[in-house]
Amino acid sequence: MKQFIETLPKIELHLHIEGTLEPEMMLHLSQKNQIPIPYQNLEEIKRAYRFQNLQSFLDVYYAGASVLCEQEDFFDLTWAYMLQCKENHVIHSEIFFDPQTHIMRGIPISRVVGGITQALKKAKEELGISSVLIACILRHLTQEEGIKALEELIPYKKDIVAIGLDSSEIGNPPSKFRELFARAKEEGFLLVAHAGEEADYTYIQEALELGASRIDHGVQCDKSEELVEFLKIHRIPLTMCPLSNYALKVTPDLTKHNLLELLRKGLCVTINSDDPAYFGGYMNTNFEAVYEALHPTKEEMRQFSLNALEASFLSYEEKEELKRKFFEA
């Protein structure tokens, strides 16, 4: 099964590029850019990568993101992730970034998008890996601040296909951003949203009402049979992240994770790595963890990948071109 997982083509739909910042790069960029971080060495950084909940992770995550300053930093970060994609047989990735995390530090959005897209172009040309970019709005900030960030993103519509919603979930429901989502839709962006990770299933319902075509996480959906049936009938993708859920105590034990049960009920469940530098592994490691905990069949493992292809923002023609690769593994 390990060999099968390694050779199985994968599509990643839930990946925060800032969450691929490995401790070594964090330390290097901190020193290069003379940005102080609350850690003196690699061991201290690695010790900080142990979390009790979403907020304790976000505290370290934002400290890490502060070392990203120059366009080449965003290029190096993204290129390192694309090399991981190659190693993990990820053939297409849909990548989140947090524009406000950088705008608030005075980093021009052109520098952020420029560095990321330069690396994505290189990955397409040299590694054969396709990708799209999704900008996530920080839900712990106000809707007004989110709309201001959206205004800055509009000139980059050719590079950014969708607007998402992430950061501290509890107390910040999707409905808080009703006007922002409506404006993003008017501008032609697709919509996705983190929902039902720590907060309850009503956040998923709200995200769908606002027009989200994919739910990022969605583990709380099984608290409502009606919602599960809706997700099944409408093939609403759930971009689930098993190692992330375990690291952040969303699930105390991967043997109790509901992603395989939901897959067997006919939902469009996918496996993703979320913030792999912080949560213990990229795509292969997540697939292996699911297998070791839940023992899905090879065909079920393949179905996770096929679901991700179906749920991707690729064109029909691009999906058909990639589909045949899934039956070579």
Neighbours of 262 (CB within 10 A): 21
Q: Which residues lie across from 239 on neighbouring strands?
A: 216, 270
Neighbours of 247 (CB within 10 A): 23
Q: Phi, psi at residue 159, to the nearest 5°?
A: -105, -20
Active-site position among 12, 94, 197, 206: 197
Could you report the per-residue pLDDT of 239-288, keeping only the tens digit for each?
A: 999 999 999 999 999 999 999 999 999 999 999 999 999 999 999 999 99
Q: Is the dihedral of CA 55, 159, 312, 150 positive or negative?
A: positive
Look over the chain and give the mean of its residue pLDDT values, rounded to a whole number.
Answer: 96
pLDDT band for 177, please (50, 70, 90 cuts).
very high
Q: Does 328 have pLDDT greater than 80?
A: no
Min mean pLDDT across 48-52, 95-99, 108-112, 132-136 is at 48-52
The predicted pLDDT at position 329 comes to 57
- In the residue annotation, 197 being an active-site residue is answered as yes
List CB contacts of 235: < 8 A, sequence separation 6 or more: 268, 310
* Domain 2-327, CATH class in plain words: alpha beta
Domain range list for the chain: 2-327
Rounded distance between C-alpha atoms, residue 321 and residue 329, angstroms: 16
CA 217 to chain centre: 9
At 71, the amino acid letter reads Q
What is the SS3 assignment for 315? coil
Order of strands across the sheet with 10-16? Answer: 10-16, 90-97, 130-138, 160-166, 190-195, 214-217, 238-240, 269-271
List CB contacts of 226: < 8 A, sequence separation 6 or more: none
**Burial profile 145-180: b = 16 or more Cβ within 10 angstroms, e = fewer:** bbeebbebbeebeeebbbbbbbbebeebbbebbeeb
The predicted pLDDT at position 54 comes to 80
